[in-house]
């Protein structure tokens, strides 16, 4: 999926790999304060069901067993809070995100929920995670992997920081495979979502990029192959809502 000469896609633009992270940072800096509201508006609330499916797959223990969870590109903490609230007293969640604005919003939300100390927010790059080998029982990334300039190193890092027997779960937009729905979804994505983004956040370009980045992300089978090459075993994926999103799973065995 990555062009030659060290280039990558920013939406439909080819840009040098070294520039993509800065462009992505600008997008999320712009929309951080209204990111969660926009998720509701763009998906009609469906993102909540997709995230519930992810947390069900994580299955954080409700007993006294210690469980260390890492949510990469977790931004404002939506997945992290769900995992912490679904598990028992010994579940600890770390959110690692490269964007300081998103982390600031997440930290505020953790304090408001009384989860500061249970959920911690740390700045870091998915391609070079600042954690020791075999540190976490589970690693997740939800709607963030497509914004990573180099997906392969990010998958390798997720594998590295997982404990033996740990699970990696990735929730990401996919390719709609229902006739009729695909055309409706295409129209809604490219016509409605950037307009909603402009009205709510004042930044049409940011949401134009987010829509375009979905189209450039590898199809589920191709992404499953990338996970296997990173070392994951028992790799599977499940498409949800007619293929709008896919839930990918792999184990470190």
Q: Structural domain boundaries of the chain?
A: 17-180+218-251
The predicted model gives 12-18 an average pLDDT of: 48
pLDDT of residue 211: 73
Q: Name the residue with higher pLDDT: 243 or 233.
A: 233
pLDDT of residue 38: 62
The predicted model gives 62-81 an average pLDDT of: 94
The predicted model gives 115-120 an average pLDDT of: 95
- CATH code, residues 17-180+218-251: 3.40.50.150
Q: Is the predicted pLDDT of residue 11 greater than 70, yes or no?
A: no
pTM comes to 0.81
pLDDT band at 37 (very low <50, low <70, confident <90, very high): low
Q: Is the predicted pLDDT of residue 205 greater than 90, yes or no?
A: no
pLDDT band at 175 (very low <50, low <70, confident <90, very high): confident
Strands in the chain per DSSP E = 7-10, 13-16, 67-72, 91-97, 119-123, 136-142, 162-173, 233-240, 245-251
How far apart, in whole angstroms, are the C-alpha atoms of residue 17 and residue 9? 8
């Amino acid at each position: 999926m990555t062009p030659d000469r060290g280039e990558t896609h920013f939406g439909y633009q080819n840009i040098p790999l070294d520039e993509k992270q800065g462009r992505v940072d600008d997008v999320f800096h712009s929309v951080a304060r209204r990111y969660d509201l926009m998720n509701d508006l763009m998906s009609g609330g469906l993102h909540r069901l997709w995230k519930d499916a992810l947390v069900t797959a994580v299955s954080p223990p409700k007993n006294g067993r210690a469980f260390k969870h890492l949510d990469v590109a977790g931004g404002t903490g939506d997945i992290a809070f769900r995992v912490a609230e679904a598990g028992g007293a010994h579940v600890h969640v770390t959110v690692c995100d490269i964007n300081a604005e998103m982390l600031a919003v997440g930290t505020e939300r953790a304090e408001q929920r009384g989860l500061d100390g249970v959920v911690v927010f740390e700045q870091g790059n998915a391609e070079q995670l600042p954690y020791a080998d075999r540190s976490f029982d589970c690693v997740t990334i939800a709607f963030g992997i497509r914004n990573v300039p180099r997906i392969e190193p990010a998958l390798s890092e997720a594998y590295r920081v997982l404990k033996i027997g740990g699970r990696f779960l990735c929730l990401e937009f996919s390719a709609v495979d229902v006739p009729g729905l695909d055309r409706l979804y295409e129209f809604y994505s490219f016509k409605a979502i950037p307009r909603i983004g402009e009205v709510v956040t004042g930044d049409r370009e940011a949401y134009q990029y987010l829509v375009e980045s979905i189209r450039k992300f590898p199809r589920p089978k191709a992404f499953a192959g990338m996970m296997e090459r990173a070392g994951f075993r028992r790799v599977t994926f499940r498409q949800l809502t007619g293929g709008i999103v896919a839930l990918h799973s792999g184990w470190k065995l």
